[in-house]
Amino acid sequence: MDPELRQILDDIGPRLRALRHDRGLTLETLSAATGISVSTLSRLEAGLRRPTLDLLIPIARAHRVALDQLVAAPATGDPRVHLTPLRKDDHSVLVPLTQYPGRVQVFKHVLAPREPRLVTHEGYEWLYVLAGELRLLLGPQECILRPGEVAEFDTRQPHWFGPAGTSAVEILHLFGPHGDQAVVRATPSAPAPPPEAAGR
């Protein structure tokens, strides 16, 4: 086997294990989500089972990542941007989508279950839920956001956000300097006149 191909295959197992740990998932939970047995998942992570598409595709779907993130295939010169996830100590995964210092920053954020801890700092945040349920604590208030729902708040208020349950939640996370607020520039179209009014 080609040495480069062998190295790619050898790296898949540790990458699968690291991704599962980042999501805060057990082998049993991932098995239930993918339909792949615990023993097969364990052997894949240990490098004792050859990774095949019929195994990797369900795992990629369960983690909501592209297949090439599991395989780490080399870039092919296509126009897609290959982003580098940042893995944090609390097992969350942060993917920076913008690089504009001093302006609004955009992240894709996968949050693993963790204990609430209210914080405050300068700035303004927007949270858009992509998948799962997000629990938001904002001072004495608490709310649950579901896919498609958005929250925005001044980060000088004590706040915390994370999964509402035992599964990870995936969000778009926008953070900007204090004073920045969402501005809606589109206005709804004027309603069409009723048929009888149009004929006068």
Overall pTM surpassing 0.85 (yes/no):
no
Per-residue pLDDT of 168-193, as tens digits, reads: 999 998 888 765 555 444 445 455 55
Show the tokens assigned to 169. Answer: 């939640």
Enumerate the domain spans of the chain.
3-71, 86-176
Spelled out in words, what is the top-level CATH class assigned to the domain 86-176? Answer: mainly beta
Number of other CB atoms surrounding residue 35 within 10 Å: 8
Rounded Cα–Cα distance for residues 137 and 77 (Å):
43
Q: Which residue has the higher pLDDT, 133 or 194?
A: 133
Report which listed range, 19-33, 54-68, 70-84, 90-104, is most confident. 19-33
Domain 3-71 matches domain 86-176 at the CATH topology level: no
24-38, 64-78, 99-113, 132-146: range with lowest mean pLDDT: 64-78
Q: For the residues 131-154, what does the mean pLDDT come to?
A: 93
| Rg of the chain taking only CA atoms, in angstroms | 22
Instruction: Tell me the per-residue pLDDT of 97-112, one tens digit each, with 9 for 90 and over.
Output: 776 555 678 888 899 9
Q: In the predicted model, is pLDDT for residue 200 greater than 70?
A: no
Instruction: Report the CATH fold assignment for 3-71.
Output: 434 Repressor (Amino-terminal Domain) (1.10.260)
| Residue closest to 56 by CA, chosen among 75, 36, 76 | 36
Q: Which of 96, 99, 102, 88 is nearest to 162 (CA)?
A: 88
Quick one: pLDDT at residue 78?
A: 52
